[in-house]
Amino acid sequence: MNNNEPTHIQSYSRLFMVLLGLFLLTGLTIGVSYIHMGKLNVWIALIIASTKATLVLLYFMHLKYEDQLIRFSFISTVLFLVIMISFIFFDISFR
């Protein structure tokens, strides 16, 4: 249960590739915002943002190599947030 072996070391090149990916996605989200698709724009922006966030989480924050407990509880936290928002829409969408 005590885990003191050295944790996986992320190489500089891998980290840099992730940064490039993040820059590209940032450019993409800025570009897409000029194409007007109504409500769809929000969802696309959120999907791109979530992709960027996933990259940061998996590689910068090491989530790819972490314990199941952390991955499971992280997803649960996000799920709780999603439920908070969506359940409120039961109210505000139907007033």
Partner 1 sequence: MMKAAQDHKGKTIGMWLFLYSEIILFGGLFVLYAAYFNRYSSDFISGGHELNRIIGSINTLILLTSSFTVAASLTAVRRNSNRTAGLLLGFSMVCGLVFLVNKYFEWSHKFHAGIYPNSEQLVNGPPGVNIFFGMYYMITGLHGLHVIIGSLLLGFSLQKLVKRKITAESHAFLENSALYWHLVDLIWIFVFPLFYLVL
Partner 2 sequence: MNDVTSFYKTPSPQHLKGVWAWLLTQDHKRIGLMYMWAVLFWFIVGMLMGLLLRIELMQAGKTIVDAKVYNSLFTLHGVIMIFLFVIPAIPSIFGNFILPIQIGADDVFFPRLNLLSWYLYMLGGLFAIISLFSGDFPDTGWTFYVPFSVTAKSNVSLTVLAAFILGMSSMLTGLNFITTIHRLRAEKMGWMQIPLFTWSLYATAWVQLLATPVVSITLLLVVIERLFSLGLFDPDKGGDPLLYQHLFWIYSHPAVYIMILPGMGVISEIVPVFSRKSIFGYKGIVWSGMAIAIAGSLVWAHHMFTSGMSDVAVFVFSLLTFLVAIPSAVKVFSWISTMYKGSIEMSPPFFYALIFIYLFSLGGLTGLVLGSAGTNIQVHDTHFVVAHFHFMMFGGTGFAFFAALHFWWPKMFGILYDFKKAYIAAILTTTGFVFHYIPMFILGLQGMPRRYYDYLPRYQTGNFLAGLGGIVLVLGILMMIVNLLSSFKKRVPASSNPWGGTTLEWTVPSPPPLHNFIHAPEIPAYPYDFSQVNRNDESGSGS
How far is it, in rounded angstroms, from Cα 18 to Cα 30? 18
User: Which of 9, 68, 90, 94 touches partner 1 by CB under 8 A?
Assistant: 9
Please state the length of the chain: 95
**For the range 13-16, what are the long-range contacts, defined as Cβ-Cβ under 8 Å and sequence gap of 24 or more?**
14/59, 15/59, 15/60
CB 18 within 8 A of CB 59: yes
Supply the minimum distance, in Å, between the C-beta of residue 67 and partner 1: 7
Give the one entry of partner 1, partner 2, none that residue 36 binds, where binding means its C-beta sits below a cut-off of 5 to 8 angstroms depending on kind.
partner 1
How far is it, in rounded angstroms, from Cα 12 to Cα 82? 34
* Positions in the binding site for partner 1 (CB under 8 A): 2-4, 6-7, 9-12, 15-16, 18-19, 22-23, 26, 29-30, 33-34, 36, 39, 41-42, 45-46, 48-49, 52-53, 56-57, 59-61, 66-67, 69-70, 73-74, 77-78, 80-81, 84-85, 88-89, 92-93
